[in-house]
């Protein structure tokens, strides 16, 4: 048992429980340290991060002023500025260090998988990160429109004061929703590889799925304008169609592989 500490796992991925717990503790420590370092680094780049986050708001502020709406981002409370900076630094550090702590999680899980499962797990992970980033980037593009619509409901003669915490939560929620929504093809392909759904079932469920996507987009987007909903729903529908095509190709390949042994015996 002592020989297993800090060394490679035995063949078959079997390890005593205590060694599993030691490895889990080590990987958790590495993940937490990576997040802590990322948070500290982000603290020193706070001004640049804040400028990036407030750019969508500053982009539409002149448009609001043309409509007679005075709107400003404010920070309330004596310790509000410190808490705001700490929160932004932590989230930025969490995102920046994600390759490290995600890899620590995968490195703990992968040895228990078969070779084919490892290949698909690594492939899906490598695909998932760009998809999530693309979804979050699309949300960042949509943000000025969403902010303009929401603040546009302010009545004449009334100023709009947006707290920094509210604004930050709004941006993070938008980017998370769009980022998670972009993972749809990944989930569908994974379910297909596990044999849970087939390409034919996906095609049959397509009309209801599209309706569900538009309902989800309407509920999930913090803004109430249809344009933001379409910016989320249309890419999700396209990605679902792509996932359906991939599922059909995988089913065809699976059927071909099942026929090969019987053909060779004949």
pLDDT per position as a tens digit, 198-251:
888 888 888 898 898 888 888 877 666 677 778 788 888 888 888 888 888 888
Please name the residue that has the structure tokens 């396209």.
238
> Hey, how many other C-beta atoms are within 10 angstroms of the C-beta on 146?
24
Q: Which two structure tokens, joined as six digits, stand for 26?
A: 């080590």
Q: At what angle do helices 80-96 and 98-109 cross, to 10 degrees?
A: 50
Q: Using one digit for the tens of pLDDT, what is the confidence trace for 156-204? A: 777 788 888 888 888 888 888 888 888 887 888 877 877 778 888 888 8
């Amino acid at each position: 048992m002592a020989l297993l500490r800090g060394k490679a796992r035995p063949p078959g991925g079997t390890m005593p429980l205590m060694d599993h717990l030691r490895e889990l503790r080590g990987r958790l420590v590495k993940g937490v340290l990576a997040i802590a370092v990322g948070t500290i680094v982000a603290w020193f780049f706070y001004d640049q991060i804040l400028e990036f986050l407030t750019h969508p708001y500053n982009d539409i502020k002149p448009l609001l002023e043309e409509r007679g709406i005075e709107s400003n981002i404010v920070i309330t409370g004596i310790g509000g500025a410190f808490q705001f900076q700490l929160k932004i630094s932590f989230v930025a550090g969490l995102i920046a260090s994600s390759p490290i702590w995600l890899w620590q999680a995968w490195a703990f899980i992968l040895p228990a998988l078969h070779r084919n499962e490892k290949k698909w797990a690594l492939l899906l992970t490598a695909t998932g990160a760009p998809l999530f980033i693309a979804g979050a980037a699309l949300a960042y593009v949509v943000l000025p429109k969403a902010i303009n619509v929401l603040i546009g409901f302010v009545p004449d003669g009334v100023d709009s004061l947006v707290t920094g915490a509210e604004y930050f939560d709004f941006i993070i929620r938008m980017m998370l929703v769009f980022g998670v929504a972009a993972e749809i093809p990944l989930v569908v392909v994974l379910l297909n590889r596990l044999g849970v759904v087939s390409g034919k079932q996906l095609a049959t469920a397509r009309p209801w799925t599209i309706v569900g996507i538009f309902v989800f987009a309407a509920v999930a987007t913090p803004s109430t304008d249809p344009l933001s909903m379409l910016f989320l729903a249309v890419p999700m529908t396209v990605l679902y169609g792509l996932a359906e095509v991939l599922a059909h190709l995988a089913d065809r390949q699976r059927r071909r592989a099942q026929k090969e042994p019987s053909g060779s015996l004949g």
